Amino acid sequence: MKHKPAALALALSLLFLASGFLPAAEGDVAFSIRYFDKRIYHVPGVEREPIYVQATVTNNSPSAFRFKLADDRAFSIEFDVRTMTNRAVEPADTLVRKRSGSARVFFREISVESGESFSFVEDLRDYTKLGESGSFVVLARIYPELLPGSGGIPLESNRLALNIRPAPIPGPEGIPLAMDIDTGEVLSRERLAPDEVVDYLISARQKSQWEKFFLYLDLEAIISRDPARKRRWAAESEEGRHRMLSRYREDLRQELVDGDITLIPFEYEIERTNYDALEGTVTVLEKFRTGNYTELKRYTYYLQRRDRVWIVVDYVVTNLGTE
């Protein structure tokens, strides 16, 4: 009987070697989750509001760590979401149908070298039914040998606190009002000077405070900077334009479009501000880290005054090289 644990350990080791999954010692490989773009989350309304979670595998071991990652991440990762009374939240219907089917699961083998990390982003709503307001705890598990069946021993993440609020307050034309993630209060535009508006915008981006970042941006004008998008905008109905704005906001969050305005400078200096009663420009020197270099860019923001509030309607970027 004394030799059974050793025999079991040997058998498990042989099994891992045969499967190609090489586990590192405990604590050498970490799995963690965090919100990709932390914001205030609501009970779903007319539009589906994603809850993006970034999952990261970090290899602190001296050798490479290899695992399988399914093309459809639902076969690699699971989310365990519970209420404050430890009641498990039901899985999403689409997830249940997907995992109960017999479709072939395609995957690729990921190799994470020593000292490196690998990350990917998933929408929590694809995994769980979060249709009620309340407080929840989120935990994730990643299965190096895929789900279901031969899932093997999963790596378990840290826990995240999740608060779901009631449906957002409708604003003008039915568009939900933006909320301040720090205070939970409705954000409102103030009568700031043009340079203060630009400072507010850049500072919000540095802190990943997206609702504040969007507050003084005229998204319709920014969309229209691209001729193809401008033509689509002109052809859309009012409802279609609302959908287009919502999609554009999400694409900006994901940094899929207009990357210059969503870049995060580690340092910036407002160089010059010019304005009259209705229009203004603010020139800003912004610095970005690129490897071992500092990249310099000069941003010129164009603003218009509407109802005594300055709004950013356009911008131009000039590359100044590196230092």
Q: pLDDT tens, 162-186?
A: 988 776 555 444 444 455 555 556 6
| pTM for this predicted structure | 0.51
Residue 50's closest CA among 126, 105, 102, 115? 126
Distance CA 313, CA 257 (A): 16
Distance CA 300, CA 160 (A): 39
Which domains are seen in the chain, by residue range?
Answer: 18-165 (2.60.40.2360), 172-322 (3.10.450.50)
Q: What is the mean pLDDT of residues 59-80?
A: 92
> Residue 305: helix, strand or coil by DSSP?
strand
CA 236 to chain centroid: 28
**What is the bridge-based pairing of β-strands 29-35 and 134-142?**
unpaired
- pLDDT of residue 42 exceeding 90: no
- pLDDT of residue 281 exceeding 90: yes
DSSP 110: E
Distance CA 27, CA 16 (A): 18
Distance CA 104, CA 73 (A): 13
- Condensed to tens digits (0 to 9), the pLDDT of residues 191-219 reads 899 999 999 999 989 988 888 888 888 88
What is each CA distance from 19 to 102, 246, 302, in whole angstroms?
Answer: 22, 44, 58
- Condensed to tens digits (0 to 9), the pLDDT of residues 294-305 reads 999 999 999 999
Average pLDDT value for the chain: 82
**Contacts of 121 by beta carbon, 8 Å cutoff, 6+ apart:** 36, 52, 53, 54, 55
DSSP 179: B
Q: What is the mean pLDDT of residues 110-118?
A: 92
For residue 70, the cross-strand partners are 107
Q: What angle do CA 222, 224, 228 make, to 5 degrees?
A: 130
